[in-house]
């Protein structure tokens, strides 16, 4: 299998390239810097020896690992995204390699006293004795999802160099802009040509996911009226206070910090306000479709209620659906979950099957006709300075891709 050193070198070469996406851009990819890694990946795939390597005008990369068996087999795919989150600094990433982790606190940044501690991040304890790659405390790492890319390319290299491993035709793809919900917007499912696929975009080792949130965004706009505060009685309308009424009217315990498992939430992630105008940006999430629809109705009802109180439209909302629970499309194709479970057990990984508290390209692709559950990539604490990934988890994910490829051809 691919050596630890090669995994580390490949991963580090990817994460040191800034590929943050931009939700305010209308381009695809949303940032020019994503092209830097995209072109590197295309060159690497060709150098390794993959066939049908293409990149289109939107930055979608596809390639083929040719079949090594004469049997008629399904075409399977593996997918990852190369953009990183715009929610935290992704420029000038300086990975730190922690060999033989001792299970104690890791000083990420001495000067700023930033510490990655197992007393707070308890998952660290299970990686004692392993090699960790962390941030330097000033940026995110980018294991979401450059760990997935590392694993797919490493598995592809192994399969190309070991034609004695029997497998059918395998397609791989790398996408832009997943972090801003657009990763599958221009994905050509027919061109990809797979019967089913797996995104390598999960977290800790063993994760196998085929349920995710139904998701929507809500943009609430409140319009006020600014008047000199000394003469404001019965004249000023403070949009920020109306926005506060709206915020306080939503269920206080139905937020990300108070929910888990399949529990849904309303998440206020951005607010901007003056007396004249305040905007609130929410995401709405729920695994249950009926509860999801009820959440959207609740927001609309609150908007109508506030407008009724003021006797005119002081608040408006635009709600847009983003993606839906892939479970609906995976359940009729549960054999692809069974293959992944069997492959995990074969390489000594305990399957951890649980719902995703988020979404992946796979959720959209499943509704586009490509059943696509999600598999671990190995990283933890995504989108922030405490992000890390065990190298051994990336090695295991690489091994798992090879094993799934074998089992899918039996």
Q: Could you tell me if 384 and 123 are in contact, meaning their C-beta atoms sit under 8 angstroms apart?
A: no
Contact 22, 30 (CB under 8 A): yes
Give dist(CA 187, CA 365) in Å, integer: 8
Q: Is 321 helix (H, G, I), strand (E, B) or coil?
A: strand
First to last CA, the chain: 21
Q: Quick check: is 83 catalytic?
A: yes
Dihedral sign computed on CA atoms, order 105, 108, 111, 113: negative
Rounded-to-integer distance, Cα 225 and Cα 137, Å? 43
Q: What length does the chain have?
A: 410
> Which of the following is catalytic: 22, 44, 83, 144?
83
Is 320 part of the annotated catalytic residue set?
no
Interacting residues of 322 by C-beta distance below 8 A, sequence separation 6+: 181, 215, 216, 217, 283, 359
Beta pairing partners, 285 = 215, 265
- Cα 297 vs. chain centroid, distance in angstroms? 27
Q: Label residues 154-177 b or e (16+ Cβ within 10 Å = b).
A: bbbbbbbeeeebebbbbbbbbbbb
Kindly name the residue from 144, 151, 157, 178 that is annotated as catalytic.
178
**Short-list 357, 10, 399, 375, CA closest to 204:** 375
Query: Active-site residue numbers?
Result: 83, 178
């Amino acid at each position: 299998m691919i050596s630890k050193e090669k995994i580390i070198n490949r991963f580090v070469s990817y994460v040191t390239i800034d590929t943050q996406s931009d939700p305010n851009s209308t381009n695809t990819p949303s940032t020019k810097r994503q092209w830097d890694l995209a072109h590197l990946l295309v060159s690497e795939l060709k150098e390794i020896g993959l066939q049908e390597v293409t990149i289109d005008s939107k930055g979608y990369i596809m390639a083929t690992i040719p079949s090594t068996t004469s049997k008629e087999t399904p075409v399977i795919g593996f997918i990852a995204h190369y953009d990183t989150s715009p929610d935290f600094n992704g420029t000038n990433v300086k990975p730190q390699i922690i060999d033989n982790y001792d299970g104690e606190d890791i000083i990420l940044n001495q000067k700023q006293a930033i510490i990655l501690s197992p007393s707070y991040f308890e998952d660290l304890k299970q990686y004692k004795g392993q090699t960790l790659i962390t941030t330097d405390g000033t940026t995110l790492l980018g294991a979401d999802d450059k760990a997935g890319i590392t694993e797919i390319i490493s598995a592809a290299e192994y399969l190309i160099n070991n034609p004695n491993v029997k497998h059918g035709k395998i397609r791989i793809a790398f996408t832009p802009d997943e972090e801003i919900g657009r990763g599958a917007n221009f994905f050509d499912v027919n061109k990809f040509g797979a019967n089913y696929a797996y995104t390598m975009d999960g977290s800790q080792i063993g994760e196998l996911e085929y349920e995710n949130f139904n998701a929507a965004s809500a943009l609430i706009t409140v319009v006020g009226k600014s008047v000199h505060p000394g003469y404001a009685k019965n004249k000023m309308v403070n949009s920020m206070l109306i926005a506060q009424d709206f915020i306080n009217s939503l269920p206080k315990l139905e937020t990300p910090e108070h929910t888990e498992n399949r529990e849904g939430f309303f998440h206020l992630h951005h607010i901007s306000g003056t007396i004249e105008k305040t905007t609130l940006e929410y995401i709405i999430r729920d695994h249950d479709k009926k509860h999801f629809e009820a959440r959207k109705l609740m927001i609309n009802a609150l908007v109508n209620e506030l407008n009724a109180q003021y006797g005119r439209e002081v608040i408006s909302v635009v709600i847009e659906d983003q993606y839906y629970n892939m479970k609906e499309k995976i359940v009729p194709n549960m054999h692809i979950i069974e293959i992944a479970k069997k492959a995990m057990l074969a390489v000594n990984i305990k399957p951890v099957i649980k719902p995703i508290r988020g979404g992946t390209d796979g959720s959209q692709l499943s509704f586009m006709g490509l059943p696509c559950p999600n598999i671990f990539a190995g990283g933890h604490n995504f989108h922030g300075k405490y992000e890390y990934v065990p190298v051994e988890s990336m090695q295991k994910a690489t091994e798992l891709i090879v094993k799934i490829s074998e089992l899918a051809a039996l």
